[in-house]
Structure 1
Amino acid sequence: MGSSALSLTLLLMSFIHSGLTQDLPRSTLTVTPDSPVFTGERVSLKCVINSDHSVWRYEWDKGSTKVSERHTVNRNTLTIERSETSDAGQYTCRGHIDGRSVSSQSSSAVSLSVKVLPTSTLTVTPDSPVFTGERVILKCVIESDSDWRWRNVLTYDWRSDWTYYQTEWRYVWYKGRKDNNVILKHSQHYTVNGDTLTIRGATESDQDQFWCRGERDERPNSSQSSSASLSVMDLPTSTLTVTPDSPVFTGETVNLTCVINSDHSDWRYEWYKGTNNSVMLQTSERYTVNTDTLTIRGVNESDQDQFWCRGQRDGRPNSSQESERINLSANASRSAQISVFNILSFLLAACPYLLATVVLLFKCCRARVISTEDQSQYVVTEE
């Protein structure tokens, strides 16, 4: 009887104790966006305490340490701006009521994984330095992001089916310093075609830093940027000389020599004659093309024109600049000029004698005419 009463008393006391005490409120921690997150993204961790109280003071822990001051806490939300790989770890939260030794249970640990953005690699073809006038192709390659994004599809038996997929990148092209650049668009000089930027006819103004970056609608919505420095050099210069000096004389042999300011020796020389519609000269009856020298045999008036040269080769640079145009002037030959001079000199020297001869002839003719007239008059008188 006594033992039964004792048991009943203990049972009643346990019921009373359980009615007066409650379990600590539970805390639930959620992360937005879903983990993994990517460097640079804004991450929000929200702590929800299952309680009717609304005056909780929230405490955040990362592993066994408090979160850093770089993070922003606003009531039940912890915000990480521009997340970094160092933000990865296990996060927990719980609540306290000031003035009372009351706290919630710590939430289950939530693992935050932070991945770096996909890398992009910028390549330049041909290799820098490039030469003025060359066609330059810049290609932006973003690493395959099949490991970066997945979709969780729940099957009918509630098993997770992780499916990798990716969306198309939109490529953005920049020129200039990282802190002061301009976005390149399709223009007369630049062709933007997805992952490729083409420079048509490079100039000195293209000597700069070029950047590319990928953007898209899915996460990660951007890639890291990549840069390449483009150096642009002038083509080798060409110098044209004429021997003998112009003007030359008809019938002379003239040599034109093309000198290219370059360390390369495998140049093929091209020779041109004319102004607007220049004609390339080949070895012929009167022209001899011998690598860097053009020989004109027996110059005549048809050779009086503009001449210029340039070099071509198989390697880079594959051409030189055009030489300055030289005007070739062809005058009459010296022998012809001397013959004419001699004739004129002889005529001038003989002129007095010729004049005297003409006068004597004139007088003789006149005297003869007068003598004939006198004889005619004498005959008439005798009759």
Structure 2
Amino acid sequence: KQHIIFIVNCCHTETPKPTVTIKPAQHVFRGDTVTLRCDINAEGVTSWQYSWYKDGSVNAFSDKQEHTFSSVTESDAGKYSCDGGERGGSRTSHRSDEVTLTVSVPRAVLSVSPQTWLTEGDPVTLICEVKGSSTGWTFSWFTLTLSSDYRYRHDLLSDSSRGAGGNYTVTSAALNHTGVYVCTAERGKPANYITISNTQLIWVTGVSPPVSLIVSPSRTQHFTSVSLSLSCEDQSNSTGWTVRRYSDRWGLKDCSSLRRGSQTGSSCTIRDTSTYDTGVYWCESESGEKHHPVNITVHCESVFLYLFISQSPYFMFWI
């Protein structure tokens, strides 16, 4: 009895799965150049026809191995995947895992060290940075002033260098360093993106200011729905002083541009105060000299009443 043995040589070929890479990174900023790359490793295949998909779509938007966004925008953010088919052959690949591209809008942030209220001779450093991105930026610093027609003007600091470092240091602060500052960060040559920072107030006080800001009622804590008067009193009886205000929310204002505010000579009256009137007030001359800052806070009446009662020696009887 004879046994016939058949030997079948089966060659099983696995379907390859591509990998996606994003350069320079998966998290980039608006205006960056971004390249997506699809790699398919399969023995015996030398040429692939690629297909790119975004956010699980069935419609391909590119047929190249590398797809480049020359200036990426927020609309380019999303989940990307690819697959491929053999050119002139029958081999195909799986679709790759999705890789997420995140596009952010860069924001310059200005901070002050060690503090914003200084005495003549103190050192101070303005720190400008772009959160989440530490390279490729150049910085400039400006003072923000309010012209007679109530328009903002940005004046580049004369000794501000457009360097890669994000610090601007004054080793010995003088009275003329008092002001509102902003910085800008830009990238590319020529710049393909510029962002301007928040504002920061720096105040430098001297020993004997020539003018005083008189507040009536005479306190720094006030409550809403009352009248508040601020007056610049010059020891030499000169004129031309204006009351200015700065707040993180509303920026730089003068009295007449405040809601319910009016300027008469060197005096400012705010009728029917609100919490929006909270800020730093000072006297400013026609030449731009700034003196005697006062930090005024306006509370809601219920909060003010609580503060008054809590500081009273009879507070325990109210509990």
Above 0.5 in TM-score? no
The two structures have a TM-score, normalised by structure 2, of 0.41
Structure exhibiting the larger radius of gyration computed from Cα positions: 1
Q: Which has the higher helix share?
A: 1
Considering fraction of residues, name the structure with more strand.
2
Query: What TM-score comes out, normalization by structure 1 length?
Result: 0.35
